[in-house]
């Protein structure tokens, strides 16, 4: 019942559906993802990158079904922490909450590192910083984290409006360039012999390669559910939060399929050249429209990365706030402006610590912290999605708390299949060399530590259970 949420002290219900969309879109970072993720898909799927992204979009929509139904029943700043806790039990909920908090924190490292790397590349291209040192990108990484902290401690209305503005502007530039490329492909005057062809949807290596490539497409959608963390701050959350999540998933699907199709066509369906490009749209913008367009896209991608960093800090701080509130600690308090300043500061500090450990003890560059943290955070996220989907099945088809047709069971079952396969191909065969061999260890370690914390603090789990009963029934 909405009255229960409204009378809670702390977060204020002041956000519109578009501001909820802003958080999900910014955390998904489609403009940044379209520049750096499809190359990995090409390594497995060849020219059929758009087909792999189409399959991943279908998988994301199956996962989104569970989130939509759970958001219609529960509104809680803890997102999956509340969803899993109220359906599978408080212990599982706390483990999910800590796990997703870990994902958001690692993604704050990913996106701040991306902002530093892309920003430094742009400054080098335009001659402002012609010969940056190896540690140079970390300077802009620090700027991105400081900026994310500052924008996160002001009321979320301003923060999420900023997210939507910066990401929307970057996406608009990318779509404009995509249209220019598509027109030249259709006209037959594209450079390098590029032409419009639907062969990009025809696999060369068989469906197994396409499904393997779809893993990287699936990971490009990570964060589409972030609006769920604003369940206590959005007007009419039973209606607006599901709309934000589903709308973001549908937009992402159309966007990624169209953009990757045009990208692959523009490279003349040459999967090798496509894979070797450091910035797909930056390279294509320079080739098809002019060098200055490539520069604009490069700086736009850096802005996108910063917007995603801000979304990670906002989403992570709401989760930590919810955990702290239910634990009765200082992290569960808000400022006079209604924002969880202590939680924001803790998430930002954790991201800084991860970067320092990687750089000082392992000699990591900003590119390394981007790749390492992205792999670890995604492995955790996939497990959290599995738990959330299982909770949705229990709520809808076992306890039958909401009226849905029985045949709808096919959606969460399909989601479990996609998620399970995604986890499988990430760990089998197990990597035995390089940093990759530590990714499953660190990801699993975060979840194991969360489980140990829950088991060693039964009073905390009991208080969580008591808290979550107040949101049961769609509070």
Could you give the CA distance from residue 322 to residue 164 in angstroms, rounded to a whole number? 24
Letter string b/e over residues 79-96, b meaning 16 or more CB atoms within 10 A of that residue's CB: bbbbbbbbbbbbbbbbbb
Residue 429: asked if its preceding bond is cis (omega within 30°), the reply is yes
Asked whether the predicted pLDDT for residue 122 surpasses 60, the reply is yes
Per DSSP, the three-state class of 234 is: strand
- What is the chain's Cα-based Rg? 22
Q: What share of the chain in percent tops pLDDT 90? A: 24
Asked whether the predicted pLDDT for residue 138 surpasses 90, the reply is yes
Q: Which of 88, 306, 185 is nearest to 96 (CA)?
A: 88
Cα angle 260, 176, 30 (rounded to 5 degrees) comes to 45
Mean pLDDT of the chain: 82
pLDDT digits (tens, 9 = 90+) for 170-226: 788 889 889 999 999 998 888 877 789 999 999 887 777 787 777 778 778 877 877
- Given this model, what pLDDT does residue 22 score? 72
- Given this model, what pLDDT does residue 15 score? 67
DSSP 394-460: IIIIIS--S---GGGGHHHHHHHHHHHHHHHHHHSSPP-SSGGGGHHHHHHHHHHHHHHHHHH-HHH
């Amino acid at each position: 019942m909405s009255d229960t949420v409204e009378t809670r002290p702390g977060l204020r219900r002041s956000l519109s559906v578009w501001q909820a969309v802003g958080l999900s879109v910014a955390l998904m970072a489609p403009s940044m993802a379209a520049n750096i993720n499809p190359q990995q898909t090409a390594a497995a799927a060849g020219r059929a990158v758009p087909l792999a992204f189409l399959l991943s979009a279908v998988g994301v929509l199956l996962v989104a079904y569970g989130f939509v139904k759970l958001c219609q029943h529960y509104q809680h700043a803890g997102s999956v922490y509340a969803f899993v806790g109220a359906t599978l039990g408080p212990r599982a909920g706390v483990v999910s909450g800590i796990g997703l908090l870990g994902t958001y924190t690692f993604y704050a490292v990913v996106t701040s590192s991306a902002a530093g790397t892309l920003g430094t590349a742009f400054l080098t291209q335009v001659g402002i910083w012609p010969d940056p040192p190896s540690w140079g990108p970390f300077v802009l990484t620090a700027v991105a984290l400081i900026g994310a902290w500052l924008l996160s401690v002001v009321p979320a209305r301003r923060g999420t409006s900023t997210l939507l503005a910066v990401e929307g502007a970057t996406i608009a530039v990318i779509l404009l360039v995509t249209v220019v490329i598509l027109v030249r492909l259709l006209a037959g005057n594209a450079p390098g012999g590029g032409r419009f062809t639907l062969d990009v949807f025809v696999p060369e290596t068989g469906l197994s390669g396409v499904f393997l490539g779809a893993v990287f497409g699936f990971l490009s959608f990570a964060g589409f559910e972030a609006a769920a963390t604003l369940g206590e701050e959005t007007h009419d959350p039973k209606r607006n939060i599901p709309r934000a999540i589903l709308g973001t998933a549908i937009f992402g699907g159309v966007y990624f399929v169209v953009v990757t199709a045009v990208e692959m066509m523009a490279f003349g369906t040459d999967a090798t050249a496509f894979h070797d490009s450091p910035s797909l749209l930056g390279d294509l913008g320079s080739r098809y429209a002019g060098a200055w367009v490539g520069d604009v896209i490069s700086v736009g991608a850096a802005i996108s990365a910063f917007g995603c960093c801000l979304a990670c800090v906002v989403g992570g701080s709401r989760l930590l706030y919810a955990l702290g509130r239910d634990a009765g600690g200082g992290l569960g308090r808000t400022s006079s402006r209604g924002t969880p300043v202590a939680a924001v500061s803790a998430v930002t500090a954790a991201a800084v610590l991860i970067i320092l450990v990687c750089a000082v003890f392992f000699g990591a560059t900003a590119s390394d912290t981007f790749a390492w943290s992205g792999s670890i955070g995604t492995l955790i996220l996939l497990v959290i999605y599995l738990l959330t989907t299982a909770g949705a099945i229990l709520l809808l088809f076992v306890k039958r708390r909401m009226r849905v047709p029985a045949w709808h069971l096919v959606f969460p079952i399909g989601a479990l299949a996609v998620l399970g396969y995604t986890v499988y191909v990430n760990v089998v065969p197990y990597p035995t060399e390089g940093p990759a061999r530590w990714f499953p260890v660190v990801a699993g370690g975060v979840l194991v530590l969360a489980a140990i914390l829950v088991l060693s603090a039964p009073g905390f789990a009991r208080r969580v259970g008591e808290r979550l009963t107040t949101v049961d029934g769609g509070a």
